[in-house]
């Protein structure tokens, strides 16, 4: 993912990058943001250390779900379509929820302009790239916020 323009503020802190996300991106979500809201944007190949209260967005989740649905399909298109429809129906609301959450995560990460993974985002305003430990990234953000109220 790449940002269309540079953020207004960037700080290199201890080898990690701390970015102040674009105000327009942050404002788009201001109504829903709560203090201390933490997201991690990653994929299956970049393990992160996060508590259960942290929202983990895996950018490759939609393609993994699609791979599950299309696994071992027959070569006949009609049979393949029927089998995928059966799998979708069999998954019920749980599968629908997984699909919806997976794509919503990708949309949310894209909307914030996330460019690198892993990324730890706090309050949809601050992001630390490259730090897989959420506690460490959050501490860096908190230190930045204390210095730049």
* 45 inside domain: no
Contact between 118 and 128 (Cβ < 8 Å): no
pTM: 0.73
* 123 inside domain: yes
Q: DSSP labels for 95-113?
A: HHHHHHHHHHHHHHHHHHT
Which domain range does residue 132 map to?
A: 55-147
* 78 inside domain: yes
- pLDDT by residue (tens digit) across 29-65? 333 333 479 999 999 999 999 989 999 999 999 999 9
* 140 inside domain: yes
Between the alpha carbon of residue 73 and those of residues 30, 63, 89, 111, 137, the distances in Å are 44, 16, 16, 34, 43
* 34 inside domain: no
Strand partners, 16: 13
Contact between 20 and 7 (Cβ < 8 Å): yes
- pLDDT by residue (tens digit) across 120-146? 999 999 999 999 999 999 999 999 989
How many domains is the chain partitioned into structurally?
Answer: 1
* 74 inside domain: yes
Instruction: Work out the number of other CB atoms within 10 angstroms of the CB of residue 111.
Output: 12
* 143 inside domain: yes
Q: In the prediction, which pLDDT does 112 show? A: 93
* 137 inside domain: yes
Stretch (H or E) spanning 33: none
Contact between 128 and 115 (Cβ < 8 Å): no
CA dist., res. 116 & res. 130, Å (int): 7
**Strands 119-122 vs 126-129: parallel, antiparallel or unpaired:** antiparallel
């Amino acid at each position: 993912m790449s940002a269309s323009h540079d953020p207004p503020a960037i700080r290199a802190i201890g080898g990690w990058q701390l970015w102040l996300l674009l105000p327009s991106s942050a404002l788009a979500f201001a109504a829903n943001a709560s203090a201390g809201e933490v997201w991690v944007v990653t994929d299956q190949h970049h393990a992160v250390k996060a508590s259960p209260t942290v929202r983990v967005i895996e950018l490759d989740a939609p393609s993994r779900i699609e791979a599950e649905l299309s696994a071992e399909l027959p070569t006949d298109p009609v049979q393949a379509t029927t089998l995928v429809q059966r799998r979708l129906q069999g998954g019920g609301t749980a599968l629908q929820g997984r699909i919806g959450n997976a794509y919503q995560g990708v949309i949310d990460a894209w909307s914030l302009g996330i460019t690198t993974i892993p990324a730890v985002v706090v309050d949809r305003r601050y992001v630390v790239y490259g730090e897989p430990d959420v506690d460490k990234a959050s501490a860096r953000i908190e230190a930045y916020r204390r210095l730049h109220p």
